[in-house]
Amino acid sequence: MRFAAIDFETADHGRDSACAVGIVRVEDGRVVERAYRLIRPPRDEFLFTWVHGITWDDVEGEATFRDLWPGLERLVVDVDFLAAHNAGFDRAVLNACCEAAGLAPPPPPFECTVKMARKVWNIRPTRLDDVCRVLSIPLEHHHAASDAEACARIVMTALAWAGEDALALATPPARGARPRGSGRRRPSGGEP
């Protein structure tokens, strides 16, 4: 199984304002490549420096998403899925940045490690730092490289613990479709 964990930090409320990205590629249960890049967003307004510590001065001379993404895209195009903590946010940032740059977003589906942590281990609350604390995963929160690494470790731990059923638990099946992992293990105590 191949997947890539991805994490974005943004400068402002616009989903196209990515100012950092971290990607961790995993193949057959092993991290095989890591990437971290600062990104020059389309605007110099930084509302979230207090969260991630990145300022306009840090990124003013960096590549834009349009220039940077073609070099990173190879890490995510041939994977079975992309993983992110609160996947809706990172998917929206990736899609908005691709759209603004005139690029097609990568095709793999997203798996959400928030949902995975709730379904596999019943962890609550499920902020990334909380999940990492419970699973003893090191984290430098809101640094895209560390957040992506932690997300990859959550998926790897879930897969080791529950197999591919971890993915089936975290992602509701499409209407009328059989969930991934169906027919394997059934939770104890439920009806067949």
Average pLDDT of the residues in 72-76: 97
pLDDT tens digits along 26-47: 999 999 999 999 999 999 999 9
Which tops the pLDDT comparison, 165 or 20? 20
pLDDT in tens, 139-186: 999 999 999 999 999 999 999 998 888 887 666 554 444 444 433 332
Backbone angles phi, psi at 148, to 5 degrees: -65, -40
Per the structure block, which two tokens stand in for 27? 């193949």
Sequence-separated (6 or more) residues with CB below 8 Å from residue 148: 5, 6, 7, 22, 23, 24, 34, 36
Predicted TM-score (pTM) above 0.85? yes
pLDDT of 79 reads 98
| Radius of gyration for the chain, computed over Cα atoms and rounded to the nearest angstrom | 17
Give me the pLDDT at residue 10, please. Answer: 98
Q: Which sign does the torsion angle of CA 114, 87, 32, 41 carry?
A: negative
Set out the domains of the chain in order of their start, with CATH numbers. Answer: 2-170 (3.30.420.10)
* CA dist., res. 71 & res. 108, Å (int): 17
d(CA 113, CA 129): 12
Torsion 152-156-161-162 (CA) sign: positive
Among 45-59, 67-81, 176-190, the least confident range: 176-190
Mean pLDDT of 123-147: 97
pLDDT at 3 over 80: yes
**pLDDT surpassing 90 at residue 106:** yes
| Residue 19, amino acid | C
In angstroms, what CA-CA distances link 183 with 165, 172, 186, 191? 10, 15, 8, 13
Give the pLDDT of residue 171.
64
Task: Tell whether the model's pLDDT for residue 50 goes beyond 60.
Answer: yes
